[in-house]
Amino acid sequence: MSSVDAIVIGSGPAGITAALYLARSGCSVMLYEQMAAGGQVLQTAELENYPGFPKGIKGYELADLLSAHLEGLNVTRSSEAVVEVSGHAGAFTVKTSKGSVTGKVVVVCTGAHHRRLGVTGESWMQGKGVSYCALCDGNFFRGQPVAVVGGGNSALEESLYLAKLASKVYVIHRRDAFRGARIYLDKLEAMPDKVEIVRSSTVTALHGDNALEGVTVTNVNTGEERRLDVQGLFIYVGFEPGTAFLPAAVERDAQGFIVTDAEMRTNVPGIFAAGDVRAKLCRQVITAAGDGATAAQAAFVFLEQLHA
Residues belonging to the active site: 133, 136-137
Q: Are 235 and 130 in contact (CB under 8 A)?
A: yes
154 binding ligand NAP? (CB under 6 A): yes
| DSSP H or E segment with residue 307 | helix 285-307
Nearest approach in angstroms of CB 237 to ligand NAP is 4
Candidates 25-33, 207-215, 231-239, 243-251; binding stretch for ligand NAP (CB under 6 A):
231-239
Closer Cβ to ligand NAP, 11 or 202, answer by number: 202
289 binding ligand NAP? (CB under 6 A): no
Region 177-196 residues binding ligand NAP, contact defined as CB under 6 A: 179
151 binding ligand NAP? (CB under 6 A): yes
Region 34-53 residues binding ligand NAP, contact defined as CB under 6 A: 49
Rounded CA separation 182/200 (Å)? 17
257 binding ligand NAP? (CB under 6 A): no
131 binding ligand NAP? (CB under 6 A): no
287 binding ligand NAP? (CB under 6 A): no
Region 85-124 residues binding ligand NAP, contact defined as CB under 6 A: 117-118
Candidates 24-32, 96-104, 171-179, 224-232; binding stretch for ligand NAP (CB under 6 A):
171-179
- In sequence order, the 6+-apart residues with CB closer than 8 A to the CB of 184 are 153, 156, 157, 159, 160
| DSSP H or E segment with residue 134 | helix 134-137
Rounded CA separation 257/277 (Å)? 6
Rounded CA separation 308/294 (Å)? 21
175 binding ligand NAP? (CB under 6 A): yes
**Number of residues in the chain:** 308
Q: Are 272 and 21 in contact (CB under 8 A)?
A: no
Q: Strands 225-228, 214-219: parallel, antiparallel or unpaired by DSSP? A: antiparallel
232 binding ligand NAP? (CB under 6 A): no
Rounded CA separation 297/295 (Å)? 5
Closer Cβ to ligand NAP, 151 or 232, answer by number: 151
283 binding ligand NAP? (CB under 6 A): yes
Rounded CA separation 41/60 (Å)? 7
Single residue of 70, 107, 155, 162 touching ligand NAP by CB under 6 A: 155
Candidates 71-79, 126-134, 173-181, 295-303; binding stretch for ligand NAP (CB under 6 A):
173-181
Q: Strands 239-241, 75-78: parallel, antiparallel or unpaired by DSSP? A: unpaired
Candidates 13-21, 92-100, 148-156, 240-248; binding stretch for ligand NAP (CB under 6 A):
148-156
Residue 164: CB atoms within 10 Å? 11
CA angle, corner 115, sides to 189 and 112, nearest 5? Answer: 105
- Which residues would be at the binding site for ligand NAP (CB under 6 A)? 49, 117-118, 149-155, 157, 174-175, 179, 202, 236-239, 283-284
